[in-house]
Structure 1
């Protein structure tokens, strides 16, 4: 690992960076993928026909807020060299709002929507900020490996949170408790583990960027906006980054639909119990961790673009298997293929942006990446939710329609030239 790190970066610091992936993965695994989404539809929305659409609309609202704010937050972080400070604020917000989801009982739709939106907004903002440290941590020729280690370690964190919740749910069901009693406790467990696991990041990760603006030199909002406007004016210089962001919107839309609705599909189509679903997601996180590390290593040998194309083909195979699955065996196979591709595609995307981002604008360009990913997180789940609603609850058809996003991503990826894009990024520096 030391040979993959940038000069001056220690193993401890690289570990502390990866620990944030470990910490925040519990939120996505438990709240968005495995537990609270199905609880939202079945208990908070009381099983109403509009429950799935309400969930996807709530996620869409949170992501819309990130779309509006992410590049500006990134521009501010670069201008004043404060990525780490903003990361701390977003972490505190996500932990507090995740714990507040414990108040969302049967019929408490307003409370659930409010704190899902706020927690997801804070999570997404922190996700962009921690990613902006990657080019400072890793050597240019090892971005894939280091990104893969981070994602792989992150899935281990998801396993820890999910495993703790799975153990508690098993005990609670043995005591005769129902979802309205044990899911709120799962939210508290998730929030606590996020808080504790993120501590090393704030102790050991260094802020290496230099302030490019001085506080008080100009009105804050004006300075940040001018910086972002300059990037928009010069967008033509970064055509490969533009194309890759368009590719990101497409393939991440498909991934977001799968992640956001996996537990709902397992419950509504496959008839899985809460404990069955938790066990499935637990195993899939192991597969995702292996996929992130394996494909992270492969990226630096096969190439970032070829590796991502391979994983998008895997996602298409997953959609076909899920659509065809009539029993648990084929569905388990599809779910683990999704896990393998998820770790790989997320790791590859982060590494490619690190390659295409100018060194003086890392947080800003990772904010644009976050903006693209959150636009995808609106399009994918909303497409699925609307397809399900308009087809009278046909989740299989909705899953099949979701697969079209992976096809579009592959077509756009073919036009991305990473070497040309890297030259453009270095010319800016």
Structure 2
């Protein structure tokens, strides 16, 4: 295993890094996907015609805030070699505001939206920061595998948080309690697991980057502008960032609206929705772990293309499914593709990002993902609103994002992009 890691990186540190994926996956699984999303629409917003659109708009605001700040935060982290300090801050922020979702009672729309926006902002910013550690830990030829280890462990973490929430919900329902009673406690459970599971990362992960004298706070925006202005020197990375916006729009729509789609189209209750997401997380963990090896063997571009074809098939099956049987099949295809594509995308950026600018370029990657997180779910939300709640048609529209991403992916060459990244670093040092 040591040959897969950068010199001086112990295996326990890779485990500590991967544990952050374990920790933060509970947030997306419980809050965004399985529990709070459906609770927000049905209970907090009272199943109003605009409820799904309000959910997607709240998330869009949080992702827009991440977009505006991600490149600057990445540049500042590179200037001070302070990814670790910022990771502490974003973790505490996400945990705190996730816990505050427990106060989102029926009708408390303003509080729910504010807590959702802030918790998701800190989550998204932390996601960018932890990803920027990857090239410090893994050798280029092993980026896919190490990234896959993190994503697969992340889905296990999602299972733990979701399983703990399900156990409590089953007990609460046996006591005659309703969603307004057990969902707030599920938010506290999720926040507590996030904090505890992130401690190995926060205590054991080393900051190996060295401060960049030119990247002072005063020059941070200047460096961001330089990077954006010189992306033409990195045509493959630039093209992949565009590709990321497109295919991630579809992925983010599926993640954000999965529970809502299951409840509105197939009338899943909270328990069945949680079981569905539990099963999907298992297939996603398998996909992330196994596909990391496939990616390093067949190449990053081919691996991502394969997963996008799977996403297209998944949407078509879920759209046409007359009953739960085919819907369960589609959901598990989504799980396999989700784990594989998310891991592959992170490894691709690690391969193409210039050395000494990793946090900054992962900030741009985060910007691309958050842009997708705005347009994808909003497309679904607007479509469901305009079609008077036709969630099947809204889902079908998301297939267009995967098709567009596959089209843009065709022109990317990873080897050429890697060489351009090294040239960029040399030119930036003399700029």
Match of 2:429 in 1: none
Matched, 1:407 2:406: no
Which residue is equivalent to 2:221? Answer: 225
Which piece of structure 1 moves more, 68-77 or 322-331?
Answer: 322-331
For residues 364 and 214 of structure 1, the distance between their equivalents in structure 2, rounded to whole angstroms, comes to 14
Distance in 1 (alpha carbons) for counterparts of 2:256 and 2:116: 12
Task: State the distance in 2 between where 1:129 and 1:248 align.
Answer: 18
Native 8 Å contact 2:82 2:207 kept in 1: yes
| Cα distance between partner residues in 2 of 1:58 and 1:2 | 44
- Asked whether 1:345 is paired with 2:341, we answer yes
State the Cα deviation string for residues 289-345 of structure 1 (Å, max 9, x = none): 000011101000011100100000000010011001121111111000000000000
Q: Which residue of 2 aligns with 1:420?
A: 416
- Shift, 1:230, TM fit: 1.6
Distance in 2 (CA, whole Å) between partners of 1:186 and 1:291 is 27
Q: 1:418 deviation in Å?
A: 1.0
Report the more deviating stretch, 165-174 or 2-11.
2-11
Match of 2:354 in 1: 358
Aligned-residue Cα RMSD (Å) equals 0.9
1:371 aligns with 2:364: no
- Per the normalisation by structure 2, the TM-score is 0.98
List aligned pairs for 1:378-393, cutoff 5 A: 378-393=374-389
Per the alignment, residue 297 of structure 1 pairs with 293
- Answer yes or no: is 1:23 the counterpart of 2:23: yes
Q: How does 1:82-93 map to 2 (within 5 A)?
A: 82-93=82-93
Q: Partner residue of 2:167?
A: 167
What is the CA distance between 1:213 and its match in structure 2?
A: 2.6
Measured after TM superposition, the shift of residue 6 of structure 1 is: 1.1
Residue 261 of structure 2 corresponds to residue 248 of structure 1: no
Q: How does 1:46-65 map to 2 (within 5 A)?
A: 46-65=46-65
Contact map agreement 1:270 1:326 (CA 8 A) in 2 = no
SS of 1:360's partner is coil
**Structure 1 contact 80–214 (Cα < 8 Å) conserved:** no
Residue 9 in structure 1 maps to residue 9 in structure 2: yes
Distance in 2 separating the partners of 1:256 and 1:397: 17
TM superposition outliers: structure 1 runs of 4+ over 6 Å: none
**Could you tell me how far apart the structure 2 residues matched to 1:187 and 1:154 are?**
18
Aligned length: 425
Residue 274, structure 1, aligned to residue 270, structure 2: yes
- Are 2:186 and 1:186 aligned? yes
**Aligned to 2:357, what secondary structure does the other structure show?**
helix
The CA deviation at 1:226 is 1.5
Q: Deviations over 1:348-378 (max 9, x none)?
A: 0000000010111000000000000000000
Distance (whole Å) between structure 2 residues aligned to residue 131 and residue 5 of structure 1? 15
Unaligned runs of 5+ in 2: 426-431
Question: What's the counterpart of residue 428 of structure 2?
Answer: none
> What does residue 71 of structure 1 align with?
71
* 2:104 alignment partner in structure 1: 104
CA deviations over 1:39-74 (Å, ceiling 9, x no partner): 000000011110000000000000000110001100
Q: TM-score if structure 1 supplies the norm length?
A: 0.98
**Preserved contact between residue 233 and residue 424 of structure 2 (Cα < 8 Å):** no
Q: Deviations over 1:241-297 (max 9, x none)?
A: 110000000000000000000000000001111000000000100000000011101
Question: CA-to-partner distance for each residue in 1:82-123, whole Å, 9 max, x for gaps?
Answer: 001001100000000000000001000000000100000000
1:317 to 313, 318, 339: 313
2:234–2:424: 8 Å Cα contact kept in structure 1?
no
**Structure 1 SS opposite 2:46:** coil
**2:156 equivalent to 1:156:** yes
**Distance in 1, Cα, partners of 2:66 & 2:185:** 28
Counterpart-to-counterpart distance in 2, 1:331 and 1:24 = 27
The answer to whether residue 384 in structure 2 is matched with residue 397 in structure 1 is no
- CA displacement at 1:214 relative to structure 2: 7.9
Deviation, 1:428, is 2.6
Counterpart Cα distance in 2 of 1:246 and 1:415: 12
Determine the C-alpha separation between the residues in 2 that align with 1:9 and 1:312.
33
Measure, in 2, the Cα distance between the counterparts of 1:355 and 1:82: 22
- Unmatched 5+ residue regions in structure 1? none
